[in-house]
Structure 1
Amino acid sequence: MKAGAAHPLWTLAACILASSLSFVEGSVLNVALPTIRGSFDAGASDVQWVVNAYLLPLSALLLLGGALGDQHGRKRLLLIGTGLFAAASLLCALAPGLGWLLVGRILQGIGAALLLPNSLALLNATFEGEERGRAIGIWAASGAAAAAVAPLIGGWLVDHVGWPAIFYINLPLAGGAILIAERFAAESRNEDAARTDFPGALLATLGLLGVTYGLTLWSVRMTVDPLILALSLGGAALLGLFLWVEARRGDKAMMPLSMFTNRCFAGTNLLTFLLYGAFGAVMLLLPYVLIEAAGYSPLEAGLAMTPLAIVIALASPLMGKLAARIGGRVPLTAGPLVVAAGMALATRIDATGGYALTVLPAVVVLAAGMALAVAPLTTTVLSAVDQRHAGTASGFNSAVARTGGLIATALLGAVLMSEGEALVGAFHTALLVGAAVSIAAGAAAFFSIAPTRKAAGA
């Protein structure tokens, strides 16, 4: 451990509690969406925005959150982000209408964009050597465990207390994180950090908003009208302007474009966008279909999803060790193909099939595919860039993963507005599309990653 870090284990505890807010929120919300929709008499596009109002600021501001921590102090930004997340959760729980719930979700996304990168950066500054690797491993395993337990807790709360309770459970987690970090964590910052890229962050946020809003409206209406065209083209133009600004800023940019000259880095981020987009869509739709079409309660839907997080948590460390020996190409090619097989298996799920014969096999195969890919992906992304860009590369890859989920959710309107047998049929179509996208992700890995780990980092 580094000198000056008076209580590194308490710092680890604070970082785990803070980051668990984001891990828990994603798992809990999916089992509560049908109840939230019914509570507000909401439409399909409203359900999409309950998810995307959180994902949009998180995707666009992750890199900015890390840069602010480098410049102004990681502990400070962790505390600010955690406090904002807690306040936003309280707003979500007390929301008198859908509009206020969406405001709360936006604020949650901003808070998560501040706390997530700085929880990991604070660990990186507190520990060193083998202790750093062990601390980050505990941090990641704790997040996986929280994601595994969250659907069960969320399902029980929705059934017995009401959906606002899924937001109340964030308050003790946030309170514990703030108290421990304030008392025991040592501040750290990068004195050489470049000026924060606010123009890039603003353009990325507005560009993603335009594209996402346009796709959401199109997926519900299934037609292109002037509003949809204006939103989509305007968003795309802003994203193009964002790339121009980043190119002008060079290495001081929020997203240095020079990193994309490395074929491995570009290919693994394409893989991330495709795989996490397809997987995120299925993780949203599966509990929704189980509740709306198959008659599961929220608790039963949470139980149905539990094997997924357990398999990923147990198998990911083994896959990380395997990738260290054989490189990332094989697991990152095979993982998406196994995910595609799981999505194909999930087309057997309908309104009458039993859990053990239809849902469980699909969930286990999906989990196995993601376990193959999760750990090797991080290692491969970091090996593709030089050390000074390691933090930016990791943060960008996390942002790409969430952007994939953001875009995928925006395209699900036609599924979410269906009912009964039509919902099951639309779900099956989405699964087949997701399987094709996952296969494309595997192809991106195969053609961009060199056969050996040494070559991949060259």
Structure 2
Amino acid sequence: MRRWSPLIAVCLGTFLLLVDVTIVIVALPSIAGHLDAGPHDLAWVLDGYALALAALLLGAGALADRFGRRATYTIGLLIFAVSSLICVLAPTVHALVAARVLQGVGGAAMFATTVAILNVTYRGRDRGVAFGIWGAVSGAATAAGPLAGGLLTEHLDWRWIFLVNLPVCAVAAWFTTRTVAESRAERAGRFDVPGTVTFSLAAIAITYGLIRAAADGWTSPAVLGPLAAGVAGIGLFVLVELKSTDPMLDLGLFRQRPFAGMIVAAFLCQAAAFAYLPYTTTWLQQVLGYGPVDAGLLGALPLSGAALLVGVFAGRRLQTVNPRTAIGGGLLLIAAGALAQTVVDDRAAALIPGLILVGLGSGVVMPVLSSAVLAEVPRERSGMAGGALNTFRQLGFAFGVAIYGTLFPERKSYAAGLSDATLMAGGFALVAAILVMVTVRRRAPEAVKIG
């Protein structure tokens, strides 16, 4: 049992932080009634967390490499627990939004270190099992948010979606402090303050612009301004990193085709597999009239259940497969599943086969992609690589939600908009699969092989 205790600690935190990306979706009507919140306020209850999480991941990874991954992960758990308690006690919607942003800070510290902790903790066959289970938990958590939110909101109260975080954080912290060994980069240079600031501000601006695009349209000044500022910020970040002796992100990593290809594939995969799920949940509730629990079951259980089964029964074996074959094949399953959901009618059951295929594909892609990315970088860069991978994942989710949100104009039926969204998701997955096939090496790197 002790051998797997670090995995338990990492999976508990990962599940919490990813569930909280989407868990509030089905609770928004209840929150609106209790806190007298308008649509704009409710959007920020959902998006404030995602914005902080995406913007701070890379900086948190650099901090972890320098000051210790276990310490960073533990501090993240503490921040997440405190902010969850503030969410429970929030008297106004503005206090709730502020607490959700603080939750994103804690989630970033946790998420940036999970992959690195597993990478330095496990070897050989154990590494395959660890990444398989972690990948399954990651895929299942993102999809399970609406289900968990529906169960808690319908049978208890919306505040319980945050209250349940407290005991889970306590258990995760106990496992972490007792069983996870501290690790950090062997050569810790100066912390890259200019790089951290420029990237975080650029990521905030881009994520904010993407979030606003769904409501205001792509030509709105409220969208174009932040996006332009974000692009300029990324340019400034690149200049800062090229001149830095201890960069937060070693841009030389992107000269390696496999690393660059898999990072972009992670961005597209997150958009393809998960970003349309908030709209699926909305369709099930507002159009078909399902309650929060039933909407969560129909919209999340097939996907999350399939992903979990893949991780439990095939996680270790997947690590022995050529990464190009495993990741590319998984992305093709996601594409097939998304395209299968384009036939939207008045029957929710029509979505289930497609959701199962997406779950199977994400259960394959998530663990193999993480271990394959880490195999392309020196071990002391694990935190940096993990932070970059998870940053692009979260930006991909925000990008997908924004893109799909523009497909639901009032003149079109919601079902037609959802059909267009899943069609676009299938296209993203196909592009990602082609990219992986072109850029990832034919043979698995030695660091990924299990034996």
Fold equivalence (TM over 0.5): yes
How far apart are 1:333 and its partner, in Å? Answer: 2.5
Q: For 2:204, what is the secondary structure of its paired residue? A: helix
> 2:207 aligned to 182, 187, 212, which one?
212
CA distance in 1, matches of 2:213, 2:153: 31
- Letter matched to residue 91 of structure 2: P
> 1:327 aligned to 322, 326, 330, which one?
322
- Letter matched to residue 401 of structure 2: T
Normalising by structure 2, we get a TM-score of 0.86
* Alpha-carbon spacing, 1:152–1:256, altered in 2? closer, same or farther (3 Å): same
Q: Do the aligned partners of 1:34 and 1:288 also contact (CA within 8 Å) in 2?
A: no
Matched, 1:159 2:151: no
- Letter matched to residue 250 of structure 2: P
How far apart are 1:87 and its partner, in Å? Answer: 1.3
CA root-mean-square deviation? 3.3
Q: Which residue of 1 aligns with 2:394?
A: 402
Matched, 1:425 2:420: no
CA distance in 1, matches of 2:128, 2:336: 33
Q: Tell me which moved more, 271-280 or 16-25.
A: 16-25
- Letter matched to residue 438 of structure 2: F
Aligned pairs (5 A) from 1:282-431:
282-304=276-298, 305-316=300-311, 320=315, 323-350=318-345, 352-353=346-347, 355-356=348-349, 358-414=350-406, 422-431=413-422
Gaps of 5+ in 1: 2-6
Matched, 1:446 2:437: yes
CA distance in 2, matches of 1:18, 1:325: 26
* Alpha-carbon spacing, 1:442–1:33, altered in 2? closer, same or farther (3 Å): farther
CA distance in 2, matches of 1:435, 1:116: 27
How far apart are 1:136 and its partner, in Å? Answer: 5.4
Matched, 1:97 2:88: no
1:319-364 deviation per Cα after TM superposition (whole angstroms, max 9, x unaligned): 65555454122332332232222222222334x31x43x0211211
Q: Do the aligned partners of 1:45 and 1:216 also contact (CA within 8 Å) in 2?
A: no
- Letter matched to residue 94 of structure 1: L
Matched, 1:194 2:185: no
Q: Tell me which moved more, 443-452 or 125-134.
A: 125-134
- Letter matched to residue 430 of structure 2: I
Q: For 1:220, what is the secondary structure of its paired residue? A: helix
1:283-322 deviation per Cα after TM superposition (whole angstroms, max 9, x unaligned): 2222222112111111112222112112112214666555
- Letter matched to residue 417 of structure 2: A
* Alpha-carbon spacing, 1:126–1:153, altered in 2? closer, same or farther (3 Å): same
CA distance in 2, matches of 1:42, 1:71: 41
CA distance in 2, matches of 1:125, 1:253: 22
Q: Tell me which moved more, 141-150 or 209-218.
A: 141-150
* Alpha-carbon spacing, 1:40–1:309, altered in 2? closer, same or farther (3 Å): same
Q: Do the aligned partners of 1:64 and 1:196 also contact (CA within 8 Å) in 2?
A: no
Q: Which residue of 1 aligns with 2:254?
A: 260
- Letter matched to residue 291 of structure 2: S
How far apart are 1:255 and its partner, in Å? Answer: 1.4
Q: Tell me which moved more, 111-120 or 185-194.
A: 185-194
1:220-269 deviation per Cα after TM superposition (whole angstroms, max 9, x unaligned): 2336244433222112101111111122225x212111011111111111
Q: Tell me which moved more, 81-90 or 210-219.
A: 210-219
- Letter matched to residue 262 of structure 1: Q
Q: Do the aligned partners of 1:48 and 1:409 also contact (CA within 8 Å) in 2?
A: no
Q: Do the aligned partners of 2:136 and 2:307 also contact (CA within 8 Å) in 1?
A: no
Aligned pairs (5 A) from 1:178-257:
178-182=173-177, 187-190=182-185, 192-222=187-217, 224-249=219-244, 252-257=246-251
Normalising by structure 1, we get a TM-score of 0.85
CA distance in 1, matches of 2:139, 2:422: 24
Q: Tell me which moved more, 441-450 or 28-37.
A: 28-37
Q: Do the aligned partners of 1:381 and 1:393 also contact (CA within 8 Å) in 2?
A: yes
Q: Which residue of 1 aligns with 2:172?
A: 177
Q: Do the aligned partners of 2:131 and 2:371 also contact (CA within 8 Å) in 1?
A: no
Q: Quick one: percent identity of the two aligned structures?
A: 33
* Alpha-carbon spacing, 1:168–1:416, altered in 2? closer, same or farther (3 Å): farther
CA distance in 2, matches of 1:118, 1:178: 14
Q: Tell me which moved more, 361-370 or 183-192.
A: 183-192
Q: Do the aligned partners of 1:203 and 1:242 also contact (CA within 8 Å) in 2?
A: yes
Q: Tell me which moved more, 334-343 or 27-36.
A: 27-36
* Alpha-carbon spacing, 1:277–1:46, altered in 2? closer, same or farther (3 Å): farther
Q: For 1:193, what is the secondary structure of its paired residue? A: coil
- Tell me the number of residue pairs that the alignment of Structure 1 and Structure 2 aligns: 447
* Alpha-carbon spacing, 1:65–1:222, altered in 2? closer, same or farther (3 Å): closer
- Letter matched to residue 102 of structure 2: L
* Alpha-carbon spacing, 1:227–1:362, altered in 2? closer, same or farther (3 Å): closer
Q: Do the aligned partners of 2:241 and 2:250 also contact (CA within 8 Å) in 1?
A: yes
How far apart are 1:413 and its partner, in Å? Answer: 4.1
Q: Which residue of 2 aligns with 1:4?
A: none
